Structure 1
Amino acid sequence: MTPIEFRQQFISNALANPGIEQIPELKEQLSKFVQFDRETLVVRGIDQSAADFLAEGGLPQDAAPYLNFNAYSEQELKDLYDLYEMPKEIFPIGANGSGDPLGIEISSQAIVFLNHDANMQRVFINSSIQQFAQSLLCYQQLLKQGQGHELLERLQSIDPVATKAGSMWHAEARSNPYRV
């Protein structure tokens, strides 16, 4: 899936709910995507394919499960690394609903978050940005269909490592109100 295809499919799914057309502000909010600066990503150690994906298509400003994304300015990056003691081996791309920083691990290019309630313990999300985007789409579709209980089964074909105990998706599947 190309970055543009991801963006188009994500927005299409988000806007497919009945009644959204009558609420322009909500339609606009659901359509917002954050695009990242390719040069900043590459200079910070993000591989070319991930940098291309984030620069061309980006990520939704907000996505289930309670994730938000941000293309931080240089000053914001400096503050995250210095003031908030964000490890330099993580390039921040957003946060989860608990305020835990979400980012790309430079050494592996995996998507992770740092659990601030557990001394910034690394929690695995996906093996790559492309698999992360596919997982976001999958989750979005399953929630819309009321089939959240199928999350781990569906993610197995996208990124088997993301379904293991201790990962974000595993925890989400176990806490999802639609699970069996």
Structure 2
Amino acid sequence: MILPKAFNKSWNVEKDGPLIKFEYDALQNTGFSDEVKQFLSLAGLPETPAPYLDFTSSQGVLKPITSIFSMPEEFQNCWFLGSTASGDPICLIRETENVVFLDKSNDDKRVFINSSINQFAECLLVYSIMLDKAVQINGEDAFIDNDIPEPVITWLKERLNNIDPKCMGNECFWTTEVGSFYG
């Protein structure tokens, strides 16, 4: 599992964009572990990483999604981080510290992304590296043209599975993302 300093060192701000860091003091009363608080405050999350995710809307503040959007009380343990390309909220679940997205087109069903914020960040990093590999082999438009070479897809699947085996489960975010390369 990647630590905040290693993530900061590995994330290429010039190529992949800046990181949004959360204020440690503002995270104190959230009920999250020190590990989550340290990761979000020391490493942060990329503003707009591939695959078309957006963390700018959180503005570096972690809040229950029910305080931002009108949602049933059952979602009060979901803390808003950002959104997917479809506008689905990406959340951190307080009790488990899992990262999920709420599928708006499916009654806000929780779709698993990663087991921890550290693993989520590491998967984003690996995804960025995969894009670089695809561009090296198939040119600048490899991702846009969905022209990811099979060996690169295989490498990505293996890396994602090594980082967080649960993230490659059935109907999970990363499984769907990797599957889209075959479409």
State the TM-score bracket (shorter-chain normalisation): 0.7 to 0.9
- Tell me: CA distance 1:38–1:125, structure 2 relative to 1, closer, same or farther (3 Å): same
Q: Is the 8 A contact 1:61 1:68 kept in 2?
A: yes
- Spell out structure 1 runs of 4+ moving beyond 6 A: none
- Tell me: CA distance 1:133–1:83, structure 2 relative to 1, closer, same or farther (3 Å): closer
- Tell me: CA distance 1:157–1:116, structure 2 relative to 1, closer, same or farther (3 Å): same
- Which amino acid in structure 2 is aligned with residue 37 of structure 1? E
- Tell me: CA distance 1:79–1:96, structure 2 relative to 1, closer, same or farther (3 Å): closer
Name which of 154, 157, 161 aligns with 2:159: 154
Computed over aligned residues only, the root mean square deviation of the Cα atoms, in angstroms, reads: 2.4
Measure the CA separation in 2 of the matches of 1:63 and 1:106: 23
> Is 85-94 or 60-69 further displaced after alignment?
85-94
Q: Which residue of structure 1 aligns with residue 31 of structure 2?
A: 45
Q: Is the 8 A contact 2:64 2:80 kept in 1?
A: no
Normalising by the residue count of structure 1, what TM-score does the alignment of the two structures yield? 0.80
Name which of 69, 72, 76 aligns with 2:55: 69
**Where does the alignment leave 5 or more consecutive residues of structure 2 unmatched?**
135-151
Map 1:1-180 to 2 at 5 A: 1-11=2-12, 15=15, 30-70=16-56, 71-72=58-59, 77=63, 81=67, 83-85=69-71, 87-146=75-134, 147-176=152-181, 179=182
Alignment length (residue pairs): 162
Q: Is the 8 A contact 1:89 1:107 kept in 2?
A: yes
**Where does the alignment leave 5 or more consecutive residues of structure 1 unmatched?**
16-29
- What is the percent sequence identity of the aligned residues? 30
Normalising by the residue count of structure 2, what TM-score does the alignment of the two structures yield? 0.78
- Tell me: CA distance 1:153–1:170, structure 2 relative to 1, closer, same or farther (3 Å): same
